[in-house]
Structure formats: structure tokens, C-alpha cells
Amino acid sequence: MMLLRARRATALSAALVAVTLAAAACGGTTKDSNEDTAAGPASSASANPDAPLKEGLKIAFLPKQVNNPYFTVADKGGEKAVKEFKGEYKEVGPSDASASSQVQYINTLTQQGQDGICVSANDANAVVPALTQARQRGVKVVTFDSDAAKAGRDAFVNQADPEALGRTEVQLLAKQIGEKGKIAILSATPNATNQNAWIEFMKDELKKYPGMQLVKVAYGNDDDQKSFQETQGLLQAYPDLKGIISPTTVGIAAAARYLSSSPYKGKVALTGLGTPNQMRQYVKDGTVKEFELWDPAKLGYLCAYAAAALSSGQITGAEGEKFKAGELGEYTIGKDGAILLGPPQVFDAKNIDQFNF
């Protein structure tokens, strides 16, 4: 996904401690689970790469928040994959991205006897007890987008190398502001594992640009209105701000909406992670020059196939194991059970109409 100068690191470190996530709406019908002691540890059986994918596998997707446009696309990709291998797909999730909001859904999915759960963790640690109980009952757990602690999952589908992503975000902005001026970061939640990892690499990359000064990291909690207000607050506090990086699809769209109708349009550069459909109007009206993202549909698609491969015994999540993910081809599991989707794509006025997600 990156048409940039960034390079993919070969091995990912997929076990960060912390986490948090995304945005939208849905009440759901999940009930709190009973206090069960579960039966023994997760299976340690060896992998059989020649085993066929089982039919009828029940794969559930649990995003950070339902109705978040990013996760809607990702989960649709998962649904496509589940249909391909003749499984049963479902999506459930909270309407807020608080640390513990996903726990009751995990418990219910475990009670329902799901074969696999694909989850983007709101908090790396808060979900671990529930995920551990699920695994003890034979449920295969694959995290995607935002990881949980290793103890709570079998594998992690990582959208991009966190170092490459963090560094290229800074490089994109530096190019737009001439490598000079005050900048800010508008992130999701303070506990979001993925954003925090990217931000650490952003800070390190900024050491190469002595003319650029990071004045604040703000948090919009992956809420549209909160992110809009945080953008407004940043410009009130720092009227000479030259650029903003928002590594969250909700945040960058809200920031673009504010800038597009403010006196700062064309004066404050904005980049980050966004979907083409969200950002198209802001690219075309000159509010945003460049931003980037992987294809979230492919991320969900890959997660579903990883869960199916685990449930079918083709892989166990060990480093070096290989499996086929439908039309995406073969993938190799890296360190700590990490599976790398691939490089991100940079979007600008020249290519944005080539994409529809």
C-alpha cells in the first residue's frame, strides 16, 4: 500500500501492550456470559498444511465499533471470504470504543460456539481474559488492525509494518510543509495499540527534520464530533500550526471537514490514514493533498482466511507456517504470530478516482 520511499521491515513485532479502537453504532443482543472455568489450554496440535478448509465454519467479526466506515469495509471483506469457503459469517460489536466494551460480545460469541473470532481490540489487555476463555473452548482468535496481547490470540493480521507506516506519515507531511513548522497529531484513543506504535515511529522520524516541531498529540476518541472539536482546539491553541497528521480514518475525515470550511484551508496541511470515499471531496477541493491507507476489505478478507486456516488445522499460528488466503495468495506467519497484509497506498488527486472504498 505505499507508493513511497518507505520500506517494509521483514519481521513485525505484533505483541505490544496496550490497545484501543474505532467508531459507530449498534445495540446488539449480546448478554453477559456466565462465569465458566473452561476446559484446559488452547490446542497445541501440530499444523497440517495439506488439510482442506472445513465447510460450515462459523466466523464472527468483532470491530472496535460497528458502523464505523472503515470497519464496515473491513468486515465486508471478511464476509466475502467466509462465503468463498462456505462458512457462516456474522458481525457484532459495541457502539463505543471503551476498553471493556467488547468483552460481553466475546463472551456471547464463545457461548454460541463460534469456530473463529476476528477482533480489532479496543484495549490490548482488557479483552484478554474473555479471549483466553474463548480459546480454551476451542475458538480460534485472530486480531486485525489493532492487536491484543499475545496471550489472548492465535494470530494477528497486521495492516502494515508499523515502522514504515509511522515514518511515511511524517515524510508525507514534511514534503507538503517544506520540512518546517509546528505540527500536531490527531489520534484515536490514548490506549490504541496501533496508533501508539505508529506515533512512536513518527516521533523518531521527526528527529530527521529539525525544522519541524511536534507541539501536541490530541485524541478524538475515534468520534467524529470529538475529532472535529479537537482539530478546532488545536488551531485555536496554535494558530501558526503548519500541519496535522491523523492516523485514524475518523479523525482525518473530521479534521478535513473542519479545515475545508475554515480560514486555514490551504494553509494547514493535513495527512494521515483515510478511505478514498471519505476523503475524495477534500482532495478535490484542495483541503488535502495526499494521504494513505491499506485496503481494509483485504484486511478483513485475510483475517477470515487466517481464522479458517486455524480452525481447519492448516496452521497453529507458529512462525514460518504458510497458508493460502483465497485471491490474495499465500501468506507466511511471522514473529509472534503476525501476518503482514502488505504496503499501504498513497492517494492524491491523480489516482483517488481509481479507488472505491
Q: CA-CA distance, 211 to 201, in Å (whole number)?
A: 18
Name residues whose C-beta falls within 8 Å of residue 232's C-beta, 6 or more positions apart in sequence: 258
Question: How much is the pLDDT for 7?
Answer: 33
Q: CA-CA distance, 118 to 75, in Å (whole number)?
A: 9
- The Cα-based distances of 283 to 256, 294, 357 in angstroms read 9, 18, 15
Residue 97 near residue 70 (C-beta atoms within 8 A) = no
Question: How much is the pLDDT for 356?
Answer: 86
Question: How much is the pLDDT for 58?
Answer: 98
User: Is 246 in a helix, a strand, or coil?
Assistant: strand
Question: How much is the pLDDT for 10?
Answer: 34
pTM, two decimals, is 0.75
| Cell numbers representing residue 299 in the block | 484486511
Identify each DSSP E strand in 220-299 by its residue range. 241-246, 269-272, 291-293
- DSSP label of 273: B
User: Is 219 in a helix, a strand, or coil?
Assistant: strand
Question: How much is the pLDDT for 43?
Answer: 43
Q: CA-CA distance, 223 to 227, in Å (whole number)?
A: 6
One digit per residue, pLDDT tens: the chain, 357 residues? 333 333 333 333 333 323 333 333 333 323 233 333 333 334 456 899 999 999 999 999 999 999 888 999 999 999 999 999 999 999 999 998 788 899 999 999 999 999 999 999 999 999 999 999 999 999 999 999 999 999 999 999 999 899 999 999 999 999 999 999 999 999 999 988 889 999 999 999 999 999 999 999 999 999 999 999 999 999 999 999 999 999 999 999 999 999 999 999 999 999 999 999 999 999 999 999 999 999 999 999 999 999 999 999 999 999 999 999 999 999 999 999 999 998 889 999 999 999 988
